[in-house]
Structures are given as C-alpha cells and as structure tokens.
Amino acid sequence: MTIWLNLLRIIAIGCGIWFQNSGLTIAGCAIALGLSTPIIYRSIRPRIPKSLSSTQQVQVIITIAMLFVVLNLLKIGGFFRYIDGLSASTDWSAVGALGLWAGALGQTAIVTLSAFVSWRQYIVSRDLTIEQNRLNRQQNIITQQQTIDNYFQGISDLVLDDDGFLEDWPQERAFAVGRTAALLGSVNAVGKARVIRFLSRSKLLTPLQRDLRLGKVILNGNGGYDEDRIYGIRVINLGVMLASIDISETDLRWTDLSDANLIGTNLTGCNLSNANLSRTILYQAKLNGATLEGTRFFYGNLEVASPRIPDRSPDYITGEFSGAVVEDVDFTNVRQMSEAQREYCCAWCGETSRQTIPGGCQGIPNRLLVSSARLFDE
C-alpha cells in the first residue's frame, strides 16, 4: 500500500510540475506529508523531551512538517519571486527617508512622554509638599498650644500660693518675666495675643496695690486686687518684649498694655477695644485698620493730658504725662475712633501722622513737643 501511495505521490508532483498545475502539485505534497510524517516521527522521537505527552509530540512533528509544506507551496506559487520583484522596484531612498521621519516622530514622542512624566512627578511632588506643609502647620499649632498651656500652668504655680492667691516675691517675678520673654519670642502672633490676654485678665500686667513694707499684694475685700498706678508693682513687666514685632490681625481686647514699649510694632487690623494704652510707647507703630472702641490713650482731662516723658511722674487725675506716645503712628483707616481719641492723637502724633487720622485734624493744634533730647523709657 505504501509503495502505491509513494508512486501516486511522485506521479502527482511530476505532472503538476510538468503541466504547471498547482492543484496536482499540492495533492502530491499532501500525500508526501502524510507518508513522511510517521517516518520522521519515529526517527526524531528519541530526541523529543520526555516532558511532552504522546499527543503533544505528534502535534510538534505535524507543525514542523506543515511549516515545510507551506514554504514549498509558497515557492511553487511564486511568492518569493513576487517579493524579489517588489524589492527590486521599491525606492529604498524613499523608504529610508520615511524611516528617518518615523524616527524623528518617535524621538518627539519620547521627549513628549518624558516631559509628561516629569510634569506628573512635579504635580505629585508638589501635592505631597503641600500636604506635608499642612500637616506641619497643624503639628506646629498643636505644639504651640501645648507650650502655651504649659506656660500658663507654670506661671500659675510660680506666683500663686496653695490657696490660689498671689504671692510673688522679687525672685519669682524675675523668673516669670524671663519665662514670658522666652515664650513670646517663640510663638506666632496669635499665640502672643493669647498670652497677653491671659496675663491681662489675670491682672499680672496691671500694677497692683501692695503692702508698702512687705511688697505683698493686698486683697480688696472682694476676693480681688485693686490697681495702683502710682505705687503699684506689676507681676510681669512687658518692657520691650513686644517692640518691633508683628501681632497684626489679632484679638487684643481688654488687654493692659500700659507702659509697654511698642516702638515699631505692627498692630495692623488688631482689635484693641477697651485696651489700656496709657503711657504706652507707640512711636512709629502701625495701627492702620485697628479697632479703637473704648481704647484708653490717656487718663484725666483731654485738655491737660499729655504723653509720658522720662523722669516726669504721671498725674492720673489731671492726665499730665499719663498719655501714650503716638508720634509717627500710622492711623490709616482705624475704626471706631472716638472724638476724644482723635483730638488727643491729632495733638500729639506729629505732622506726618496727622494726615492719616480719619476725619482729619483741622482746627486741632499740633502740641507735640519737638526736642532733640526727647527720650523714651525702656
């Protein structure tokens, strides 16, 4: 049977080639494939990996045989001659130019992609930085609040006795001033305002009436303490702690800043309602946009009141030398300034500042004493 099939294969292939009949040729190749597959399989079977099953081994052999058959058919069908002709007729210069264009486009795409990746990395990095800064600010706020709370507790323990009454000896006052100065130098404007409000409402910034021999604070019979502007002593004297700092846009209502040195301090937009600024040195301070409802600039009568002067004791009855130093202060757009405040500031702020006072200073004489020897208390 195999002999007759081989003979048929040879006749079919020969006739196909002789008569250039592709059908006969394909039929002969198919018969040859069917006859040769078992022979080839038996010869190469020992070399096939043992990991393949019998079915997989047969599939491998058939695939290889089919590949050879397809190649022969392509050759008989003239496919390779067609490829040769196409290659000969192709303008390879144009193909090369097209390749260059494709390469340029590819490089452009790579550059664009790199730029996009870099931009995305920048966006991610920026967002991470913003988030990290936000978390840092939150942590700083929490840390500052804890620091201020610890200060409040420390000051209370330092100047109060076991019954909660003031008991501040000179050394204790010195420690309290040192702690306050250190804290005010380490917190932001909101923290500074919070500390000042606490000290003011605790009367630690107010000169209190004391026993003239022992120096102890005297209770007023109502469980509180009376202020004594002439002979009283403050538990904490702010001195120059607030000079030339920025505490703008903060809440300083009902604070006692009397006698404090606020030279060059930025008080822009502050709420100074009912604050005490008597004898406060506000030279070149910025009060623009501040709220001055009920703010005290002086004691006594407006006609007699005048700014503090070194080596001159204030008279809190008449107001002489009891007032704030307001020379060269910026009063632009201050709010709720009373008529008495306007007249005092116009009289003692100097020509430059008079132009910034809302409502103007027309008809109010400039009473500022100009002297090269003018000094300010520290």
Between CA 345 and CA 327 the distance in angstroms is 8
Token couple for 111: 């550059």
Name the pLDDT band for 109 (thresholds 50, 70, 90). Answer: confident
Which structure tokens are listed for 123? 């966006």
The mean per-residue pLDDT over the stretch 296-308 comes to 95
Q: Angle 189-201/170-184 helices, nearest 10 degrees?
A: 150
Fold of 238-378: Pectate Lyase C-like (2.160.20)
* Contact assessment for residue 136 and residue 157, using Cβ atoms and an 8 Å cutoff: no
Per-residue model confidence as pLDDT tens digits over 325-344: 999 999 999 999 999 999 99
Angle at 227 between CA 223 and CA 228, to 5 degrees: 135
**Segment 73-82, tens digit of pLDDT:** 676 666 767 7
Q: Which residues contact 341 (CB under 8 A, 6 or more apart)?
A: 292, 295, 297
Q: Where are the domains of the chain?
A: 2-47+54-79, 146-236, 238-378
Torsional sign, CA 62, 64, 67, 69: negative
| Residue 61, C-beta contacts closer than 8 angstroms, at least 6 positions apart | 37, 40, 41, 44
pLDDT digits (tens, 9 = 90+) for 235-293: 999 999 999 999 999 999 999 999 999 999 999 999 999 999 999 999 999 999 999 99
Q: What pTM value is reported for the model?
A: 0.67
Torsion from C-alpha of 198, 202, 206, 211, nearest 10 degrees? -150
Other beta carbons within 10 Å of 98: 11
